[in-house]
A and B are shown apart, each in its own frame.
Chain A
C-alpha cells in the first residue's frame, strides 16, 4: 500500500510551496516545533534538564572548539567520511537505475548511531554529567552509547526490553564487555518503547548527574533537532560524494525509518534540492493490512509519546499500540516529529516495506555486492528497488538515473535472524525441524 505524495498546491500556503519557489529552506529547522509537530510534552520535573541541554547544545554549536572535537572524533575514531559505494550488480535488479550505498555500516560500532552518541557524550561532559543512560532496541544504540561512555570515562546504563535482550543476546554481551550495565525491562511490551519509559523514570530520579542519551531523532525538544544535527554529516558527505563521482545530484534518496535518525541525517543534505525525490521506508511487518507492523506514518495519527507530538500508532483511546517488525531497530510505534512534518508538507514520501520484501533485499545485497546489511537498512534497499522500477518506467535512460540508499548499519547482529529466516542452519539428517 503506497501513498501518493501530496501535489504541492500554491494556494495552501504550505512551507513546501515556498520551498519549491525557492523562498524557504527546509534545512536546519531549529525546533521545538516542526509545523504542528514536536514540542515538549514532558513532566515538569524534566523541563529544567531539557533547558540545560538545549542551552549547552546551542552554545556548543557556536563553539569552534566543540566543532573541532566532533570532527576529530568522526575522522579518527569513527572512520568518517564513510564511503559512497556504487552497487553495480544490485542495480541490475533496480531496473538498471544506478544505486549508490552510503556506507554507514563501515563506521566504528557498525552503524550511523555512533555519530549521535559521540556528540551527545561530549555535551554530557560539558554539562558536568558523569553518567549516561540510554535505551536500545536491537542493541545498536546501546552498543554505541557503551562505546562512547568507555571512550569518555562515563558511567553507562542501558535499558533494553527483556524480549529484546533475548533476541539480541550477543549485543547484551557486547555492551557488558564495554563496561555498561544492561537493565532488562520487564514491564509493558518489553520492547523499545518500554525501555524508553524506564530510561525516562531513571532520568527523573537521577537528573543531577545523568544525561539521557536518546538514540533517535524523536522525543522532546531539543532531541529531534539535536540528534539530526549530529547525523547531518551523513547527508553532507553523500551530497559531495555523489557530485564528485557522477557530476550530478541523485534522482532519489532512500532511507529506513524507525524513529528516523539515519533518515533525517541523509535527508537533510538534499531537502533543499527540489529535483531530488526523498523516500522514507517504514517497517511494514507482516503487512499494513494486518495488525503486525510498525508503519507509523502510513497508518498512525498524531498524538504525543515520549515528549513529542508526532504520528503515533494508537488505538481509539489514545493507548499506544505495540508495533511489530522483524527489525528490532524499526520496531517502534512512534516517529520523529520532523518526519511527520516532512510527510504533511509532502516533501518526503513515506511508504511501508514488509518483512518479506526487506529480507529479499537483504539476501540480494549479500549475493550481488558482498555486503551484509542490517535488516533495518534492508528496508531502504527494498524501497530503492521499488523506486528504481518507477524511475525506469519514466522518460529517459535508466542508467542516467541515480538513487542513493543510506546503508545505515551492517548485518552482523542479524545473522541469527537471517539464518532462521532463510533456514540456513544445518540440522542433523532425519531430525524433525
Chain B
C-alpha cells in the first residue's frame, strides 16, 4: 500500500501580479522518487520553496507525514521535526566555509534527529559514496567544481537524515556524465535508506526515467500527474517536452 509522506492541497501563491501556484495539489509517496517537470516559470521551484517553508502560501495547506498541517511551520523546524530537506537551485552551499564545515551543519541536524553514532555512520557512508568529500575536506566550498558543489549540497542534506529529500534542478550546469554518476550514487544511497525524493528537473526525459511518479506543471498549475511511465506516454508531453510524437 502506498503511503503519502508529504501532501500539498489546493496551494495558491502569488508574487505581486504573478500567480506562481494555482490550486496545486501534490503528493509524495514514501520511498518513491516523484518528479516535477515543466518549463521555466512553471512554478516547480516555487512549489519546492513552499514545501521547505521559504515562502508562504496565500491559500491551501501542506501536510507532513502524519497528515498534520505544517503550512505555517518555519523552515528550520520542517527540517528538524519533519525531515524535509531541500537542496535548492544553485546548491545553497556556503562558499566561504570549508567542505567539512558545510557537512558539519548537516551532521548537527542528523544528531538532533537521530543520534551521534548514526550521524557518524552516515558521514562515513557518504564519504565512501563520494570520496571527493574526504579528499577536499579542508578546501573552501566555493573553490570546488560545479559537480563537486552539487555533491556537497546533496551530501549535506543527506547528513540531516531526512525523510524527504527535495532536489531542485540538481543537473543544472553539470556535464551529462557527472549527472549520471551523481544519480547512480544517489540511487545506491536510497537502496540502503528509506528515502523519499522529490526531483524538480527541466530535463524531462531524465526526470521521468529516474522517477516512479511524475507531475507536469504549466503556468503555476499541475496539468498532468500519475505514474512516470504513464505520464511519459502522454501525447501532449511527448510532443512538447520530449520532442517526439
Do these two chains really belong together in a complex?
Answer: no
